[in-house]
Structure 1
């Protein structure tokens, strides 16, 4: 049998960059918020285009209105989620991104 002489120290295995849940949220939350905002913008513009090209058809107009409604509802859910995360961070005294 061969045994290797190997030591685990900070040069061979650097410590983890993420130490707690607050640091994970600091990394992930801004990216998720940006993605949600971009998705809202794309969906709202798409619904506006649907509405403009409906050609007087009530079915297409209703479909565009439904898309706009769901886009706004999604944005409201994201804002409420953001507020909840900030509130939990305040209660637990975790430093959050913005």
Structure 2
């Protein structure tokens, strides 16, 4: 049976994390872009936001500072979109909560 209260809390938590990531992107990388225009599944590199490796480092530092989660360049796929970053953050927060 689905616990709708828990599902609603998870959705709300995800939205908050997505917004924080977008804020980190815009502020730490000094993007001349309204964060509302960043789509959650939009690629961050290449034809998406056209970020580069230095931007990835800045983003990694911002996320580590905000969420207390270390990001590694071993798995660059987590930097592919806001959705992937959010999934990674949520997954790692759950692991930390269980320890």
Normalised by the size of structure 2, how large is the TM-score?
A: 0.36
Normalised by the size of structure 1, how large is the TM-score?
A: 0.37
Q: Which has the larger radius of gyration?
A: 1
Q: RCO (CA 8 Å, sep 6+): is it higher in 1 or 2?
A: 1
